[in-house]
Amino acid sequence: MTDWFYADATHARRGPVPATELLRLYQARQIDDRTLVWRDGLAEWVPLDAVRGEFASAASPVPATSEWTLEALAPTQSDIDGAPAPGDAWRPVTESAHTAAMMAAGPAASASPYAPPTAPVARVDTVVHGGEVVYAGFWKRVAAYLIDGLIVGVIGMVIGGIAVAVLGGIIAVGSDSATGIGIVLVQLLSNLLSIALSAAYYAWFHASASMATPGKMAVGIKVVRTNGERISLLRGIGRYFSTILSALILMIGFLMAAFTQRKQALHDIVCDTLVVDKWAFTERPELQRRELGTVTVVVLAIFGALFGLVLVGVMIAIGFAAM
């Protein structure tokens, strides 16, 4: 009996399993027609629907429609995750294209599925339109910025401290006349490192497959183009520098996210981006959440308490100074 490999919801390879096990997983709705499968002899991973004819010997008859049945094998609990995650889609492979690929592959087609490129997985991003889109509210975005700001701040202090220490040592062994210039250079270097680190952090994460920074992932939101597509790295860099513009006008650019129709801040409007729920523009829009969520509430409460303590401390200090 032929053994099969398949890709689970996280796109990790599972198997080998017999054909009957694949049919059982299908019956239990743990895989579907778009699940990628591979067996010895295939040139590449293909959707399950493209090779359904090969399962006739495992369960007969095999319906010609998109839904299979296998009443002889009752569904049981499995430790394999469900169908591929919403928003992730795979390039369809027709049977004719699959056959041509096998002929072109020749002997290499019999290699292990764990040794690319013998069995490459061809994946593309797919945007699903037609469903409801829940835009990220102002307070969710604030909570995400607080988390990201803390992360960037800690990393920046470590990298900046090392750079300043090195440059400070060089200045210390120089002449007294160079001390003033050295201090200016240290400050300039520190500022440039901070900007470069922040730009790289936000741009890379927003352009990644998750389309979100760790802060946004924590609260369940992501950044996309206005048509739902993933943004490019270049657009991510431009968006970061646009946030500086939002901050320069007394933070009004950020506050716009609370009042605009699609919850867009000024930098979103400039860069043609949206901040939406992580399930927006996917096949499961019903999983979107309008409420703040536990993480958002906890983050806002912690930072709110810290801000209150700082404010009280400042007021006490001013009171003592006035005495």
Q: Taken in order 131, 269, 232, 197, is the CA torsion positive or negative?
A: negative
With 0-12 CB in 10 A as exposed, 13-18 as middle and 19+ as buried, what is 19?
Answer: buried
Give the integer Cα–Cα distance in Å for 262 and 269.
Answer: 10
Give the integer Cα–Cα distance in Å for 263 and 276.
Answer: 9
Q: How many CB atoms lie within 10 A of CB 110?
A: 12
Q: What average pLDDT does the structure give for the chain?
A: 78
Pick from 64-73, 232-241, 296-305: least confident: 64-73
Pick from 83-97, 222-236, 304-318: least confident: 83-97
What is the per-residue pLDDT for 126?
79
Q: Which of 142, 121, 113 is nearest to 275 (CA)?
A: 142
Please give the structure tokens belonging to residue 237.
């860099």
What is the per-residue pLDDT for 59?
52
What is the per-residue pLDDT for 250?
92
pLDDT in tens, 103-116: 444 444 444 444 44
Which percentage of the chain shows pLDDT scores above 90? 44
What is the per-residue pLDDT for 181?
74
Pick from 76-80, 157-161, 308-312: least confident: 76-80
What is the per-residue pLDDT for 86?
40
pLDDT in tens, 260-290: 999 999 999 999 999 999 999 998 899 999 9
The answer to whether 7 touches 13, Cβ cutoff 8 Å, is yes
What is the per-residue pLDDT for 159?
81
Please give the structure tokens belonging to residue 60.
């007969």
Q: How confident is the model at residue 66 (pLDDT cuts 50, 70, 90)?
A: very low
Residues in the chain: 323
Q: How confident is the model at residue 8 (pLDDT cuts 50, 70, 90)?
A: confident
pLDDT in tens, 159-196: 877 877 776 676 666 655 566 676 777 778 878 888 99
* Alpha carbon 91 to its chain's center: 20
Tell me the whole-structure pTM to 2 decimals: 0.60
